[in-house]
Amino acid sequence: MSDVISAPANVFPCTQCGGELHPDEGQNFLVCPFCESTVYIDKTRVVFHWYLASTLDQPKAQANLARWMGGSATIKDLDKKARLAGSSFEFFPFWVFKSKDKSDNESLWLEPAAAISVSELKNITVPAGDLRKFDESINAQAHAPTIPLPTVMEWLKPRLPADAEISETALVHIPIYTFKYTYKGDSYTAIVEGATGGVFANIFPAKAESPFRIVGGLAAFIFLCLATFPVLGALTGGNGIAIGGGLCIGLGLLSAPFLFALAVWVAAKV
């Protein structure tokens, strides 16, 4: 852990040059007066602090969202049917770790540094892009980290390969657009990552959702009804069981093509 350095309170060595940093009480962001590195101070640790520049402006991010909505993951014509309810932009904080194993293989790990509205964002990989020194000019749009670094490192440890260690740690602010939209009276949230345009959403009007469930449910219901015929037949006594069984098989065979056709029609429609 070469650049995660513990130090006495209120004096921290710079991660870049080792120069003594003297943050004020409660001060998290600092520019090293010696080498001008931007660092973040998380109680007992000091790490590099970067932000990723956004390559998309709001209209372009919205166009990306529309393309995703028009794509195959979502319900047909969602891009035309959804109504946009609002959008916001921020730089969202992530703890970024570089791990190294004995053969010097490096891996990158990203963990959200604050609570996220779309848990899918946990699957974000390090977006390729222009990493810059964090600076005051983006502070107003930057979401402050609320999940402490030591907590996240505890989560990460069991996931690292046995012979790997964390070799670098940084706080990186990643640009995200959060879009709220409604579809058939329900509200949804989708996030467009501003460096590469990736779309993240947990819940969205997806294909293979309710219409398929309705067809599946209908089929299950019909067969359940049919299956009760032999039981009812048996209860009536005599040759009721044979009649019930015959009805069950006959009606089952008759309804199967209709259910199949219904499933095909639903698949073409959504």
Binding residues vs Zn ion (CB under 5 A): 14, 16-17, 19, 32, 34-35, 37
In whole angstroms, the minimum distance from the beta carbon of 29 to Zn ion comes to 14
Residue 102 vs 133, nearer CB to Zn ion: 133
- 22 Cβ contact list (under 8 Å, min separation 6): 10, 11
Residue 14 vs 61, nearer CB to Zn ion: 14
Is-contact 39 14, C-beta < 8 A?
yes
Adjacent-strand bridge partners of 166: 99
Structure tokens at 124: 């974000």
In whole angstroms, the minimum distance from the beta carbon of 18 to Zn ion comes to 7
Q: How far apart are CA 83 and CA 183, in angstroms?
A: 6
Cα angle 8, 114, 127; round to 5: 100
In whole angstroms, the minimum distance from the beta carbon of 32 to Zn ion comes to 3
106-112 and 38-42: which strand pairing? unpaired
In whole angstroms, the minimum distance from the beta carbon of 197 to Zn ion comes to 34
Residue 17 vs 214, nearer CB to Zn ion: 17
Distances (CA, A) of 185 to 8, 69, 179, 192, 255: 55, 17, 16, 22, 34
Residue 15 vs 74, nearer CB to Zn ion: 15
Please identify which residue in the block is written with the tokens 């998380």: 42
In whole angstroms, the minimum distance from the beta carbon of 172 to Zn ion comes to 18
Residue 168 vs 193, nearer CB to Zn ion: 168
